[in-house]
């Protein structure tokens, strides 16, 4: 098949509305229903009202354990005038829920009755008519509407229907979404991977979303990039599914057949949407049903699936599609975007003082973890070039606001022990978390200066004094009251392939032309340390192949070496061990956390410090390798008077 360019570059709203209008002409949105057992109805949506088949209770019932009596015969009873009644003629013993015989109209609680013998009982207070008697239909009356149409059935609703003797209910049929993963490179989970293989996981994400949206997913086997084979499976899907989604192949490459297949089987209405990520979306109709081609990159796949499939499911069900909660945030740094493209930026969000601050995550379409880590999404409008600092903008929340507000927002240098801290937050203090943004040590100090973080992780070596962090904090935060708490000491060195095949023993090897280096970003403490060590050795950056190739954390550097896209990189021993690399140690450095005094009384920071000082934290850190905890939790410097010692032992209320 010949290659095609994008047919259009429509706005998201225009493209979706056009598809919906065309589907309305095919009667696609006509609703279908089915009858199911009430016991299987949880989460389903009613297609018609549900009425009680019986009253509840359907007889006069005792609301207490006691004696059923005729109220008028109890009048005048008092402590000074006990009334004696006969069992059988004047009263009968009943338990809660028992029927009340017609001749009786009240119940006296068993603890207010004195049984004289087997035939007589005495009371010292009167009963009023219908006391402790449940009337017929007190809860539900026969033919009363229990649930309206278009109602999502909850556990309470199931109970009410069963109580009213309803055993079957008519509900809307779940829209079936056929998901067809395509690509020669895709393999099933558990496969022994070889270079070029990609584990197919997009369908798992999409099918999970379909379930959340009250639909049913039909996932087809992986289909190779063969036009006829993909077409065959699409035809099968059209026969059994309401909506068909073809994952990957929606672009304009040589193996991208989605647009052509939809055009052959029906009609393409849009190919190319002005969104980022996710531009190469195909919207079409075949056999009266929507066929949607979405990109293969995981972030593009997930976001475009939500943008174009979710509205169709809810419209097919005839129910309201609830929007996510939205809040006003300010961004931690300017976000630049492409004019003419609506961009969806994943962000971490935290409350710092009186405002919510958003820090962008990786913006690449292939970074699935940006969705895992994200607290929300910022939408940059099509006709905007980005978002400015300190101007409130709207963010859609991916997590409850209450959870977001319990997070400690830490900016700065990346370290593997921060993952340990976050895990212990979840273990020790459910609902609280550590939200770390890896912007480099200097970036962390800048975030504190702008009031956009509660703390900053750093390991900045002063080349003149050989001291860590203090001189930078003094110079960059001269008017701030802050302290430095040691997190760990760690081994920095050169990460190399397993077995060190190139026999790299030190920095001098970086000057060899056949050795490819991978660096950390500017402002990272590791980059500053590297430059310091290179200067001591008299090595210039121009002598190192790959000096300007950058990654933003230690694991990313290690991954590049493990994948053989680089031979060597500067990083920590724990990252090398995590990816089974060899490690050439160069220096031990100190990694501190800088905390402004104003946050020391914050409950979140108290919990952070308690975790850092815990023995469990130290034990888990020691298992990572390359770390020392000799000063963990200790104040190593403060710009304001504070007693010496472990911070966890200090009365924070006095600081």
Residue 183 and residue 283 in one domain: yes
**Which segment, 66-80, 364-378, 380-394, is predicted with the most confidence on average?**
66-80
Full residue range of the structural domain in which residue 367 is found: 324-381
Same-domain pairing of 501 and 479: yes
pLDDT for res 367: 84
Cβ burial 397-432 (10 Å sphere, 16+ → b, else e): bbeeeeebebbbbbbbbbbbbbebbbbbbeeebeeb
Q: Is residue 420 part of a domain?
A: no
- List the structure tokens of 437: 């943004």
Residues 531, 607 within the same domain: yes
Q: Is residue 377 part of a domain?
A: yes
Residues 580 and 527 in one domain: yes
Residues 609 and 649: beta-carbon distance below 8 Å: no
Q: Are residues 129 and 144 in the same domain?
A: no
In a domain, 576, yes or no: yes
Whether 521 maps to a domain, the answer reads yes
CATH code of the domain covering residue 377: 2.40.340
Banded pLDDT at 90 (limits 50, 70, 90): very high
Flag whether 417 is in a domain. no
The alpha carbon of 253 is separated from its chain's Cα centroid by a whole number of angstroms, namely 33
The whole-angstrom separation of Cα 343 and Cα 336 is 10
Last residue of a domain, one of 381, 403, 426: 381
Helix, strand, coil fractions of the chain, as percent rounded to 5: 30, 30, 40
* Boundary (domain end) residue, out of 292, 317, 342: 317
Residue 407 within a domain: no
Mean pLDDT of 438-461: 92
Q: Are residues 617 and 513 in the same domain?
A: yes
d(CA 234, CA 228): 10
Determine the average pLDDT of the residues in 340-348.
92
Q: Tell me the mean pLDDT in the region 325-346.
A: 89
Measured between alpha carbons, how far is 444 from 477 in angstroms, rounded to an integer?
11
pLDDT score for 250: 61
Are 637 and 649 within one domain?
yes
Do the domain assignments include residue 419?
A: no
Q: Give the lowest-confidence range in 106-115, 202-211, 338-347.
A: 338-347
- Note the pLDDT of residue 7: 54
What mean pLDDT is predicted for residues 89-111? 96
pLDDT at res. 1: 41
Query: What CATH number is attached to the domain comprising 163?
Result: 3.90.105.10
Do residues 163 and 187 share a domain?
no
403-419 pLDDT, tens digit each: 999 999 999 998 999 99
Complete DSSP assignment for 208-223? HHHHHTT-EEEEPPPB
DSSP for 386-407?
EE-TTS-EEEEESS-HHHHTTE
d(CA 362, CA 380): 15
Q: Which CATH number covers residue 604? A: 3.40.190.10
What is the C-alpha to C-alpha distance for residues 617 and 266, in angstroms, rounded to an integer? 60
Say whether both 73 and 116 belong to one domain.
Answer: yes
Longest dimension (CA), the chain: 112
Give the mean pLDDT of 621-648. Answer: 84
Residue 4 reports pLDDT greater than 60:
no
Are 17 and 148 in a shared domain?
no
pLDDT for 30 equals 94
Same domain, residue pair 588 and 640: yes
d(Cα 418, Cα 589) in Å, to the nearest integer?
16
Range name among 163-167, 170-174, 246-250, 336-340 with the lowest pLDDT average = 246-250
Q: Provide the domain count of the chain.
A: 5
Domain-embedded: residue 202: yes
From residue 107, how far is each of 75, 81, 103, 118, 502 by CA, in Å?
A: 14, 20, 12, 19, 92
Half-sphere exposure of residue 252, counting CA atoms within 13 Å on the CB side?
Answer: 10
Return the H-helix or E-strand segment holding 510: none
Phi, psi of 203 (to 5 degrees): -65, -30
CB atoms within 10 A of CB 137: 15
Q: What is the DSSP string of 124-139?
A: SS---TTTTEEPTTSS
Mean pLDDT over each residue of the chain, to the nearest integer:
92
Whole-structure pTM value: 0.84
Task: Clarify whether residues 598 and 471 are in a common domain.
Answer: yes
Split at pLDDT 50, 70, 90, the class of 144 is very high
Confidence of residue 255 (pLDDT cuts 50, 70, 90): low
Q: What is the pLDDT of residues 610-620, one digit of tens each?
A: 999 999 999 99
User: Considering 262, 290, 317, which residue would you say is the last residue of a domain?
Assistant: 317
């Amino acid at each position: 098949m010949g290659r095609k360019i994008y047919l259009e570059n429509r706005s998201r709203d225009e493209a979706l509305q056009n598809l919906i209008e065309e589907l309305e002409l095919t009667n696609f949105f006509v609703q279908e229903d089915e009858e199911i057992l009430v016991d299987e109805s949880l989460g389903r949506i009613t297609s018609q009202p549900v009425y009680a088949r019986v009253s509840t209770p359907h007889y006069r019932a005792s609301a207490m354990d006691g004696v059923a009596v005729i109220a008028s015969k109890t009048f005048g009873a008092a402590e000074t005038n006990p009334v004696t009644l006969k069992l059988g003629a004047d009263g009968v013993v009943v338990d809660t829920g028992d029927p009340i015989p017609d001749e009786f109209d009240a119940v006296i609680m068993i603890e207010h009755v004195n049984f004289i013998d087997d035939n007589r009982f005495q009371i010292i207070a009167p009963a009023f008519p219908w006391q402790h008697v449940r009337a017929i239909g007190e809860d539900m009356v026969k033919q009363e509407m229990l649930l309206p149409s278009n109602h999502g059935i909850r556990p309470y609703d199931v109970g009410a229907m069963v109580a009213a003797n309803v055993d079957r209910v008519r509900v809307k049929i779940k829209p079936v979404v056929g998901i067809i993963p395509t690509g020669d490179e895709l393999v099933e989970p558990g496969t022994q991977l070889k270079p070029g293989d990609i584990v197919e996981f997009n369908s798992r994400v999409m099918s999970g979303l379909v379930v959340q949206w009250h639909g049913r997913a039909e996932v087809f086997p992986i289909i190779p990039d063969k036009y006829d084979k993909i077409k065959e499976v699409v035809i099968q899907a059209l026969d059994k599914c309401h909506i068909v989604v073809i994952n990957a192949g929606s672009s304009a490459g040589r193996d991208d057949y989605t647009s052509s297949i939809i055009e052959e089987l029906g009609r393409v209405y849009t190919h190319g949407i002005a969104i980022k990520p996710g531009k190469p979306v195909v919207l079409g109709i075949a056999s009266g049903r929507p066929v949607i081609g979405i990109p293969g990159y995981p972030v593009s796949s997930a976001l475009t699936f939500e943008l174009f499939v979710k509205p169709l499911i809810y419209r097919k069900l005839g129910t309201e599609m609830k929007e996510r909660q939205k809040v006003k945030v300010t961004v931690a740094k300017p976000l630049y975007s492409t004019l003419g493209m609506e961009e969806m930026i994943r962000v971490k969000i935290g409350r710092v003082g009186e405002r919510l601050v958003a820090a962008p995550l990786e913006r690449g379409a292939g970074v699935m973890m940006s969705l895992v880590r994200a607290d929300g999404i910022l939408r940059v409008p099509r006709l905007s070039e980005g978002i400015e600092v300190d101007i409130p903008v709207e963010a859609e929340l991916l997590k409850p606001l209450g959870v977001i507000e319990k997070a400690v927002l830490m900016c700065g240098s990346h370290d593997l022990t921060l993952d340990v801290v976050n895990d212990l937050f979840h273990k020790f203090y459910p609902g609280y978390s550590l939200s770390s943004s890896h912007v480099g040590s200097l970036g962390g100090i800048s975030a504190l200066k702008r009031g956009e973080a509660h703390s900053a992780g750093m390991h900045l070596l002063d080349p003149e004094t050989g001291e860590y962090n203090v001189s930078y904090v003094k110079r960059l935060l001269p008017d701030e009251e802050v302290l430095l708490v040691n997190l760990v000491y760690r081994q920095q060195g050169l990460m190399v392939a397993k077995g060190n095949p190139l026999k790299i023993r030190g920095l001098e090897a970086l000057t060899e032309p056949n050795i490819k280096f991978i660096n950390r970003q500017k402002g990272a403490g590791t980059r500053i340390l590297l430059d310091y060590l290179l200067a001591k050795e008299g090595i210039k950056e121009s002598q190192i192949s790959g000096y300007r190739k950058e990654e933003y954390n230690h694991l990313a550097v290690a991954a590049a070496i493990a994948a053989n896209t680089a031979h060597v990189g500067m990083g920590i021993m724990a990252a090398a061990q995590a990816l089974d690399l060899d490690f050439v140690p160069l220096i031990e450095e100190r990694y501190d956390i800088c905390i402004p005094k104003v946050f020391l009384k914050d409950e979140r920071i108290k919990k952070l410090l308690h975790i850092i000082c815990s023995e469990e934290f130290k034990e888990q850190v020691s298992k990572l390798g390359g770390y020392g905890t000799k000063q963990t939790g200790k104040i190593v410097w403060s710009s304001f008077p504070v007693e010496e010692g472990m911070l966890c032992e200090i009365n924070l209320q006095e600081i």
